[in-house]
Chains A and B, each alone.
Chain A
């Protein structure tokens, strides 16, 4: 049993790692997508931004599939309750991701409907960036769950203050991360605009974080006693300050690092206040936790072997690919 408990905790952490990896990687291309009309004023600038994410967005998105698959495999009860319970919200995410995935390819090669595909790309990037936070906020603050572990609310249950604050926070974080990546890959007026946007978004991030912070203290008073949560929130504040400073000094690479660390701080903080829950229930006795929602010890062990063998290789060639495409992007670079 002790091994089983350990495996469950390890998987709680690993799913956190996969989701954090997803936010750090796909976060910047969702952010770039949502910011496209604000950052890029000319077709050349649009081409630069799209060229910057073109070769990497697909690999980035796999982190979501890996996280979802790992949740299914390690905690099938939580996967089933959330995915069936948040049906319409997740359908919106799904429709967005589908349209977004094809829209870059189609924007380039379906000139008759270029405007339509660009809108799909921008909307399909912004909506998930907002909804991921709302969904996360709900499992953290707690949702009505019945004795059969089924979600007992409606679509509107999902739109409560804390989840909405988390949604806003997620959106700001994705946008800020996107602006940082845009700065890293661009030159000239686009670069200047991206850096300016970075600072505006850092302020928005700080405001949304403060709002979420208050909401957590109000709705989840027990969180006050979590020392790790305080440490992680400090990490978030610190990386925000360093992010803004790096942006001001024109150190775009460093800004990118700090906006990534801010994400890690957020995930650490959420993990600290959420553990051992996977889906908190309004009635705490019915919450889905690492103990009552997990797969068997054998499945968790097999999965751990898969992760330990597979993920280092993934990280290795992902770094290789980012190196291949490193550097500033020009509108005439090899692309769509």
Chain B
């Protein structure tokens, strides 16, 4: 197996595993801030106990994110030394800025959130919760800046084969940064909110801490609904941006082989890359043109416009993009059902809906991952779009055997900590709100 493939496999593995945790942190930290604010306003102990409960879950998720995040900062130098040399002038700064502006903030105040409730005033505590929320979201911004620059590089010039920074703001706020950020953050809110709803659903199904669970359900359903609806708009805007800035990627997302005036939206199909056709295709005529240009006759470029060696693969981006959209629509339906039940005050007793929420927990994670896969595989064959090929970005001195060895160790470690982490989170959830506080008093180490 060649080093390029293995290096990509390793990055996919460690980034994909890491990407399970930060989105959850985004959503859960938002809900913690809301619950703390409600506690400040109402002085209702139920909210405090819910906050204690959620902070415990957040703490574990956060630590998993920290542990798996270190590997990514190392990875660019480890496996992608040529990449680091070529674009380090631009790419390193957001990573350093993330540490300085946000990672310190999140880590230090999460320490206060998890360990300091009895050592600071309620006001300071709530502010700490806000800073964790703020730090997590700022952290995401820097990472999205770095990632977006790989997709739609800007604000630089090439000098002696290296990208050199020309304009920091143009590089940071490149054409895909803002919309990618909004889209990713909303994905995180959907994830964290659905996790919280599922926790509430489980408590309700077990008939435990029913009133607190109902409060949690109401709060997280509000976040979930808002995020799911907004995500429809942000996803749409993101697609328009991709069509404009990376037309070959949109062609791959839609398996559009030839340029079309009035291109259809492919609802289902199996792309056959070799013969450049889509098997079992179900299409809505003119829909793609309508969606990306608001004009049923708009011209969408097909893959044949691009040289074969500059085309992205089709199958993974197509599948990832479509699964993500399908899930996004499912979230809106779930939110609508939830709001309807909430309005009729039946949500706490509708066992079918509560069970549905339990089974739905993996879905937002799947949506985040498939969206990410579509975005990154759709960028191929480039590491930095039209600037640096992935095949030319790897470390020249690292033998394939070393990469394979490290992949195997990563796989073992991640399987171990993934299983243990899930176990710890489930144990915390089983502890229940209120009861968890009692357990903490016992000093259960």
Contacts and interface: CB of A to CB of B under 8 A. Distances in A.
Interface of A: 43, 46-47, 50-51, 54-56, 58-59, 61-62, 64-66, 68-74, 76-77, 79-85, 87-88, 90-91, 94-95, 97-99, 101-102, 105-110, 113, 117, 148-152, 295-296, 298-299, 302-303, 306-307, 310-311, 314, 317-318, 321, 324-325, 331-336
B435 to A, nearest CB: 15
A115 to B, nearest CB: 13
Closest 9 CB pairs of A and B: A76-B88, A83-B77, A73-B92, A69-B96, A72-B92, A101-B67, A84-B395, A310-B100, A84-B81
Contact of B100 (A59, A82, A90, A306): A306
A296 B95 contact: no
Contact of A110 (B64, B117, B423): B423
A150 B396 contact: yes
A83 B114 contact: no
A110 B89 contact: no
B308 interface: no
B162 to A, nearest CB: 9
B440 interface: yes
Given A54-B115, A59-B111, A102-B63, 18 more contacts: A55-B112, A56-B111, A58-B110, A62-B99, A69-B95, A72-B92, A76-B92, A80-B77, A80-B81, A84-B79, A90-B74, A94-B70, A98-B413, A101-B70, A303-B96, A314-B105, A317-B104, A331-B443
A302 B88 contact: no
A59 B120 CA distance: 18
A58 B62 CA distance: 10
A68 B98 CA distance: 12
B76 A105 contact: no
Interface in B92-124: 92-93, 95-101, 103-105, 107-112, 114-120
A205 B279 CA distance: 70
Given A105-B424, A321-B111, A306 B81 contact: no
A66 B66 contact: no
Given A95-B409, A324-B119, A80 B165 contact: no
5 contacts: A50-B445, A58-B108, A68-B74, A73-B92, A334-B116
Given A98-B71, A298-B165, A62 B81 contact: no
Contacts of A62: 99, 103-104, 107
Contacts of A107: 445
Contacts of B398: 84, 87
Contact of A101 (B63, B88, B166): B63
Interface string B361-399: 000000000000000000000000000000000011110
Contacts of A94: 70-71, 74
Which size class do B's interface residues fall under? Answer: 35 or more
B111 A65 contact: no
B349 interface: no
Given A97-B70, A334-B118, A295 B89 contact: yes
Nearest to A109: B424
A66 B99 contact: yes
Nearest to B101: A310
B104 A59 contact: yes
Contacts of B59: 105
Interface in B58-84: 59-60, 63-64, 66-68, 70-71, 73-74, 76-79, 81-82, 84
A189 B59 CA distance: 32
- The main secondary structure of chain A at its interface with chain B is helix
Given A98-B417, A102-B420, A318-B104, A324 B70 contact: no
A90 B402 CA distance: 12
B388 to A, nearest CB: 13
A36 B78 CA distance: 31
B445 A47 contact: yes
Interface string B118-148: 1110000000000000000000000000000
A186 B92 CA distance: 41
Interface of B: 59-60, 63-64, 66-68, 70-71, 73-74, 76-79, 81-82, 84-85, 88-93, 95-101, 103-105, 107-112, 114-120, 164-166, 168, 395-398, 402, 405-406, 409, 413, 417, 420-421, 423-424, 427-428, 440, 443-445
A301 B358 CA distance: 50
Contacts of A55: 111-112, 114-116
The CB with the most chain B CB atoms within 10 A, among A71, A107, A306, is that of A306
A50 to B, nearest CB: 7
Contacts of B112: 55, 321, 324
Nearest to A148: B396
A311 B63 CA distance: 23
Contacts of A68: 73-74
A113 B420 contact: yes
Contacts of A59: 104, 107-108, 111
A330 B64 CA distance: 27
A39 B20 CA distance: 37
A26 B114 CA distance: 19
Contact of B119 (A47, A105, A325): A325
Contact of A84 (B73, B77, B166): B77
Contact of A72 (B84, B111, B117): B84
Contacts of A80: 77, 81-82, 84-85, 88, 395
Given A68-B74, A83-B74, A110-B424, A336 B110 contact: no
Contacts of A152: 397
B88 A72 contact: yes
